[in-house]
Amino acid sequence: MIKIESNALFLTGPKGSIPIKEHDEITFKLGMLFEGECEGLGSAIAAEKFGFTRQRYYQLLQDFKTKGAGALKSRKRGPQRNYRRTGEVVRQIIRYRFLDPQISPEVIAQKLIQCGYSIAIRSVERVISEYGLQKKSFTRIAQE
């Protein structure tokens, strides 16, 4: 059983208790599953006690059963890689820019879309900026 005493968490049993570190999410989630499955608290009550939904409780339970305690650690959300600006798309943007230094990002994006790539004008602008392929302005050239 997990007890919460003045912002401190403890795993408590019949013979004593041990403290849980503040950011130990694996032990916290495992405690919830233990109370829900082994202590007879039930999924709905255990999930509510620990601040989770019943659906999330069952997701964590399934992850724990298939992958072990390591699966209870939260992972980064969102895309894990840049799926729009792939290496090939970046190479094509640079290629178009070197073939015609005056070409606009809009035209490059249009050419890439015609070739079957899914890309936005802003993504083309980012690549051009990241690789320093911007056009020099006339005022800047005059000052140099």
> Could you report the average pLDDT of every consecutive run of 10 residues in the chain (144 residues)?
69 83 89 91 93 96 95 86 87 95 95 94 94 70 54
From residue 78, alpha-carbon distances to 16, 37, 81, 83, 130 in Å are: 41, 31, 9, 11, 23
Q: What are phi and psi of 86, to 5 degrees?
A: -70, 170
H or E, element range at 32: helix 25-37
Is 95 a domain residue?
A: yes
Which one of 34, 49, 72 terminates a domain?
72
Same domain, 40 and 94: no
Two tokens at 18?
Answer: 């041990």
From residue 15, alpha-carbon distances to 18, 48, 74 in Å are: 10, 26, 31
**What pLDDT shows up at residue 6?**
59
**What pLDDT shows up at residue 80?**
77
Is 21 a domain residue?
A: yes
- Structural domain range at position 120: 87-131
Same domain, 59 and 104: no
**What pLDDT shows up at residue 105?**
95
**What pLDDT shows up at residue 95?**
96
Q: What is the number of structural domains in the chain?
A: 2
Same domain, 93 and 53: no
Same domain, 9 and 38: yes
Same domain, 16 and 54: yes
H runs (alpha helix) in 38-99? 43-50, 54-67, 87-99
**What pLDDT shows up at residue 19?**
86
* Whether the Cβ atoms of residue 37 and residue 47 lie closer than 8 Å to each other: no
pTM for the predicted model, two decimal places: 0.54
From residue 30, alpha-carbon distances to 47, 63, 70, 75, 87 in Å are: 11, 11, 10, 16, 41
Is 78 a domain residue?
A: no
Is 142 a domain residue?
A: no
Same domain, 53 and 115: no
Same domain, 103 and 60: no
Is 140 a domain residue?
A: no
Same domain, 47 and 101: no
Same domain, 6 and 67: yes
d(CA 130, CA 78): 23
Same domain, 15 and 65: yes
Is 33 a domain residue?
A: yes
Same domain, 45 and 103: no
